[in-house]
Structure 1
């Protein structure tokens, strides 16, 4: 099992980041995410918590040894469930791969929470585990490749989301100040 985590601060208030998270894709830095389908969205009338379930369709260029060993294609799907709590100002996104999950799973959790200085803390963790206990050598190679790919996509996601937030809010804030 491999773990990944990162902490980052976006220079935008929590409300802007949460609105922006619905506009993260498509963006040129994360071109591997090609479709986003909302499966379900609801608001809890007691708490005001917004729950959204989405399926993300991705195109990933897998190494030849993975395709030969496991079959499959470049198409991959991820199930994502988010909870946005406007009262506590916390947003949590949990995701898991649906494709090739019989061979390996990637459980990811993202949290957005406000900081005291008006920015937003972004915490991302992932647990990547091969499910091929009988083939330890192949399992280690698969986990290694998945962690490397996850880290690359996480960095691209951070850069892409920063650009999305900048395009959504910084130009608008500049126009507001000019008026």
Structure 2
């Protein structure tokens, strides 16, 4: 198993980041995400926690040898489940690949929470565990896991850049609406 992890702060309050979370796709930096379908959404009447399950459709440019070896296509699907708790101002997202999961799995966890030291910033923590399911060929499995983590890291960087752009646009729209309302 191989791992990926990153932490940083978004320069926006938690509520703004959570609104942005629902507008993350599509964006020009994450063009590999081509569809987002909400499968289920519910609100716990006692806690107010919002649970959302989505399926993300992706176009992955996998090397031809991987497609030949494992079959499939460049179409890939990811199951994402999020919990947003307005009372504690915590949001957690887990996701796992549905496509080619018999060969490898990527389990991702994301958490958004207010930065307690900087009131208008939101702390972001992301981890991923990648595991190839090729026990007979440990060397090949290790190489595949390293490649998948490298690919995940590239997409995570694009995700950060894209989400930052989405947040900037939402913030500008918010400020413009406030100006219009003031006049």
TM-score range, shorter chain: over 0.9
**Partner of residue 4, structure 2:** 4
Listed as ranges, the matches of 1:12-51 within 5 Å are: 12-51=12-51
Looking at structure 2, the residues matched to 81 and 144 of structure 1 have their Cα atoms a distance apart, in angstroms, of: 25
Q: CA deviation at 1:142?
A: 1.1
Gapped regions of structure 2 (runs ≥ 5):
none
Query: Are positions 1:107 and 2:82 aligned together?
Result: no
Q: CA deviation at 1:169?
A: 0.9
TM score, norm. by length of structure 1: 0.96
TM score, norm. by length of structure 2: 0.94
Gapped regions of structure 1 (runs ≥ 5):
none
Query: Are positions 1:151 and 2:153 aligned together?
Result: yes
Looking at structure 2, the residues matched to 35 and 175 of structure 1 have their Cα atoms a distance apart, in angstroms, of: 29
From 127, 130, 145, give the equivalent of 2:129: 127
Q: CA deviation at 1:176?
A: 3.1
**Partner of residue 73, structure 1:** 73
Looking at structure 2, the residues matched to 23 and 162 of structure 1 have their Cα atoms a distance apart, in angstroms, of: 11
Give the number of aligned pairs.
179
Q: Following superposition, which runs of at least 4 residues in structure 1 exceed 6 angstroms of deviation? A: none
Q: CA deviation at 1:170?
A: 3.1
Backbone CA RMSD of aligned residues:
1.2
